[in-house]
Amino acid sequence: MAEAATEGSDVGVLAMLRFWGEVVVAVEYGQFWKPLERHFAALGRRSRFYHEHYSHDGCEPLATASSQTHSGKLGVCLRDMLITPSAMTTVANIGSRVVESRLRFYDQFARG
């Protein structure tokens, strides 16, 4: 993933931050939150960490991202940079590499 920064592409760096640090995290927290939600409901309170991150990290589609959260701010900046076909290709490539990397990470635990 260091290539995103070494290529000198602001689009690549923002795409990396948005997908790795926001979108993928929101998906992972969503998986953590499902079993935790019952626990917190039984206690009569909400998680101040998992629920808060799950409810806003990476949840706004890029096309409608707003500046109301740090995730949305990254999305707005990234969306505004998508003005050329090469920028869109860069974002698609970064997104694919992030997903592949995360899958490899989780696959190591499934090998038994």
Residue 46 lies in a domain: yes
How far is Cα 1 from Cα 99, in angstroms, rounded to an integer? Answer: 11
pTM: 0.73
With beta carbons less than 8 A apart as the criterion, state whether 60 and 69 touch: yes
Structural domain count of the chain: 1
What pLDDT sits at residue 85?
92
pLDDT higher than threshold 70 for residue 91 = yes
Residue 112 lies in a domain: no
Domain interval for residue 22: 3-106
- Give the chain's mean pLDDT: 81
pLDDT higher than threshold 70 for residue 1 = no
Asked which of 17-21, 25-29, 57-61, 68-72 is least confident by mean pLDDT, the reply is 57-61
Rounded to a whole number, what is the largest CA-CA distance in the chain? 50
Residue type, 111: R
Residue 18 lies in a domain: yes
pLDDT band of 57, cuts 50, 70, 90:
low
How far is Cα 80 from Cα 25, in angstroms, rounded to an integer? Answer: 23
pLDDT higher than threshold 70 for residue 8 = no
Radius of gyration of the CA atoms of the chain, in A: 16
Residue 111 lies in a domain: no
What pLDDT sits at residue 6?
57
Percentage of the chain modeled with pLDDT above 90: 7
